[in-house]
Chain A
Amino acid sequence: MMLINTVILLLRDALPIILIFALLLLSSNKYTKSSSQPLNFLNFFYQLTHSKWWISALLLSLITTRLLVLNLSDVTQILMGKGNEIVFSTILLIIYLMIVFILYLLHKNNSEKRYSVAIRTSVILIFVFVFTVNATNFFTYLTGFWSMPELQFSLLVGIFLGSGICISVGILFYFSLHLIRNKYQQTIIELLLLLFGCGQLIQALNLLLQVDLLPSYTALWDSSFVINEDSELGHFFTALVGYEATPSILHFSVYCSAFILPIAAHYYHLIYSPTSYNLGADNEKN
Chain B
Amino acid sequence: MIAKVLMQKGRRQYNKLKFIIFCVFLCHFNVFAKRPEYIIEIKNHLFYPDNFSIPENTKVKFIVINYDQTPEQFDSFDLNREKVIFAGKKATIFIGPLSAGKYYFFGEYHPDNARGFVIVDNDNISTNNLSKKYSNNVEVNDVN
Contacts and interface: CB of A to CB of B under 8 A. Distances in A.
A151 B76 CA distance: 25
B108 to A, nearest CB: 7
Given A140-B71, A144-B87, A210-B93, A215 B81 contact: no
B97 interface: yes
Contacts of B78: 246
A37 B102 CA distance: 53
A243 B100 CA distance: 23
Nearest to A79: B21
A144 B97 contact: no
Contacts of A140: 71, 84
Given A140-B71, A219-B99, A211 B94 contact: yes
Interface residues of A, number: 35
A76 B96 CA distance: 22
A144 B70 contact: yes
B71 A212 contact: no
Nearest to B73: A137
A72 B83 CA distance: 12
Contact of A206 (B30, B80, B92, B96): B80
A216 B111 contact: no
A84 interface: yes
B109 A5 contact: yes
Contacts of A210: 81-83, 93-94
A81 B91 contact: yes
Nearest to B59: A216
B142 interface: no
B84 to A, nearest CB: 6
Contact of B70 (A5, A145, A217, A229): A145
Contact of B83 (A84, A212, A228, A245): A84
A212 to B, nearest CB: 4
Main SS of the interface on chain B?
loop
A251 B28 CA distance: 17
Contacts, number: 80
Contacts of B93: 210-211
Given A218-B97, A218-B99, A76 B91 contact: yes
Nearest to B31: A212
Contact of A213 (B31, B35, B81, B91): B31
Contacts of A141: 71, 73, 108-109
Interface string A127-138: 000000000010
* From A141, A144, A228, residue with most partner B Cβ within 10 Å: A144
Contact of A212 (B84, B87, B94, B108): B94
B98 A214 contact: no
A73 interface: yes
A72 B84 contact: yes
B46 to A, nearest CB: 15
A214 B59 CA distance: 12
Contact of A73 (B61, B89, B108): B89
B86 interface: yes
A9 interface: yes
Contacts of B82: 206, 210
A-B residue pairs, 7 tightest by C-beta: A212-B94, A144-B71, A229-B77, A144-B70, A73-B86, A230-B77, A81-B92
30 contacts: A9-B108, A9-B109, A73-B86, A76-B84, A77-B89, A81-B91, A84-B83, A84-B84, A137-B84, A140-B71, A144-B70, A144-B87, A145-B70, A145-B109, A209-B94, A210-B82, A210-B93, A211-B92, A212-B30, A212-B31, A212-B35, A212-B59, A213-B24, A214-B28, A216-B59, A216-B94, A228-B77, A229-B77, A245-B77, A246-B80
